[in-house]
Structure 1
Amino acid sequence: MTPASIKPTVRRRILIHLANYSLQEPDHEAPREVSQQGIAEAVGIRLRHISQYIRPMIKEGLVTERSGLVDGGRQHQKVYFLTDQGRKEASWMQDKESKIAADKQSLTVYPE
């Protein structure tokens, strides 16, 4: 397997996905993308597996969990946002991925 074919870990995909969303005030509706269903769809895993990835990130202080209304929903659902520490880690991961992509491009050999 070549490095180009290795997919980022689920943990990394979740952190980078959540980096696109800011913590909402408790009385505001949260975007669907920060619900369990929204995260599962965005990172390509089954809904039933979300908690096994999110729980350790909550314990590490990277993610915070709230109960709130999701856009267009009628019932409260669990929604997730990055903490300051989680934002730092996600930013570091994004920077690292950008550097890897730039390195790959500089190593590309073009036929003559």
Structure 2
Amino acid sequence: MQEITNPKVAWALIFLSGALEIVFATSVQLSNGFTRFIPAASALVFGALSVYLMSLSLKVIPIGTAYAVWGGIGAVGTVVIGLAFFGEPASIMRLLCIGLIVAGVAGLQLNGAT
């Protein structure tokens, strides 16, 4: 496994792994319960790659912070994809709660938790 020691690289990996988490979740949706081969295979690949890249950053970023940021990016990004492409509802309360996740992720990153 590649060892990461630079905090900027570690944070870049967290953000990249969060983006891959969005692709993973979207692939799961498109797989129709893992009955469609290409979306199901891409879900497995992108899910594994997402976790792997996050794991590389754990030498620098505490696991609680890394996991919260990774999960927050994945959750918010997946909601945006759901709103834009899958016709999910955009209620005010839902959007406010997503905003709280964004604020939490930003707060963790700005807090200098590395």
After TM superposition, the score normalised by the length of structure 1 is 0.28
Max Rg structure: 1
In terms of fraction of residues, the more strand-rich structure is 1
In terms of fraction of residues, the more helix-rich structure is 2
